[in-house]
């Protein structure tokens, strides 16, 4: 389907100076391919110098900010194209398709990812009685929000710690808490709050998602999954689809096919062995579902990827 193109011209203008300072800070750093090693806990930084994708990836619960460039992501049947004006917030670990739309050596794609810290989120909510600005009841595991000057300012100060490593143990945690505070009190705060707090439907679905990710090779009984999430079967179906754009069975299928693809790309498994490793009993069914998801039979798809050495990170 055609992607929903988000326009944030005003936001781009408001954050242009801060983003330029971030790019100047990152430019001389010792990049190793698309990333570089540093001591700031959790923070991942990426630089890509040519268009990449589409590629399949499993997002962890995280905040993603594009510092320069644009990206297309597809979750279920929803596709979004976004740039530096918007952040992407993933509250559960979801399989999705990504594509870096434009990138070059002169104009690289640069992005940052910060994992969500449940303990820190809960502490902020409890200690400061935080209430979100938006009380929308819509649940979706991946959402976009306005990348405000305050968010980029905090990101700049966090990245700046690479030049003062002695400050990292104290400052990194406080700056990350500031970022979480901005998210909790912003337009997606209600969703993030429901994800973080125990007892909410979002939190229970997140537990079901986590169990599926750990046990995707096992036969799935939806009634047993609902029991693990402390939800009724119909309630689980409703909220699981609302959050992930998939049913639990579809979610499991995405996980199995993704991991089978990775096994084949590693060169250690052929298609039949990979199918068995991820839980398929029928190679024929595996091949049929693989082609439906990736567009080609397993062998042809893997050969095409191996002939294209460009792989992308999950930002």
pLDDT tens sequence across 155-169: 999 999 999 999 999
Residue ranges of E strands in the chain? 4-5, 44-48, 52-59, 62-68, 70-75, 78-83, 86-90, 94-100, 109-115, 142-146
Residues of the chain with pLDDT under 50: 1-3, 310
pLDDT tens sequence across 38-76: 899 999 999 999 998 788 788 889 999 999 999 999 887
Contact 79, 6 (CB under 8 A): no
Q: Residue 2: its pLDDT value, please? A: 43
**CA atoms within a 13 Å half-sphere pointing along the CA-CB vector of 205:** 29
Residue 48 has φ and ψ, to the nearest 5°, of -125, 135
pTM: 0.78
Q: Residue 196: its pLDDT value, please? A: 83
């Amino acid at each position: 389907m055609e992607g929903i193109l988000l326009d944030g011209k005003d936001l781009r203008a408001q954050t242009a100076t801060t983003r330029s300072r971030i790019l100047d800070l990152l430019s001389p750093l010792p990049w190793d391919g698309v990333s570089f090693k540093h001591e700031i806990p959790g923070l991942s930084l990426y630089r890509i110098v040519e268009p990449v994708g589409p590629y399949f990836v499993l997002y962890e619960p995280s905040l993603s900010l594009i510092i320069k460039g644009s990206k297309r992501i597809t979750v279920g049947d929803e596709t979004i194209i976004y740039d530096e004006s918007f952040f992407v917030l993933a509250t559960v670990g979801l399989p999705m398709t990504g594509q870096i739309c434009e990138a070059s050596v002169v104009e690289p794609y640069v992005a940052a990812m910060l994992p969500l810290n449940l303990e820190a989120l809960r502490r902020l909510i409890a200690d400061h009685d935080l209430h979100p600005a938006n009380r929308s009841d819509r649940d979706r595991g991946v959402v976009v929000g306005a990348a405000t000057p305050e968010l980029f300012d905090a990101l700049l100060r966090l990245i700046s710690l690479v030049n003062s490593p002695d400050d990292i143990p104290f400052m990194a945690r406080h700056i990350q808490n500031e970022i979480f505070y901005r998210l909790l009190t912003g337009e997606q705060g209600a969703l993030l709050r429901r994800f973080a707090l125990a007892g909410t439907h979002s939190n229970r679905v997140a537990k079901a998602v986590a169990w599926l990710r750990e046990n995707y090779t096992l036969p799935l009984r939806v009634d047993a999954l609902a029991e693990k999430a402390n939800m009724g079967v119909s309630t689980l179906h409703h909220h699981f689809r609302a959050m992930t754009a998939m049913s639990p069975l579809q979610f499991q299928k995405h996980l199995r096919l993704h991991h089978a693809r990775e096994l084949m790309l590693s060169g250690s498994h052929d298609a039949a062995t990979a199918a068995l490793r991820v839980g398929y009993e029928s190679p024929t069914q595996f091949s049929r579902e693989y082609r439906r998801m990736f567009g080609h039979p397993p062998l042809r798809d893997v050969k095409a990827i191996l002939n294209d050495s460009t792989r992308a990170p999950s930002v």
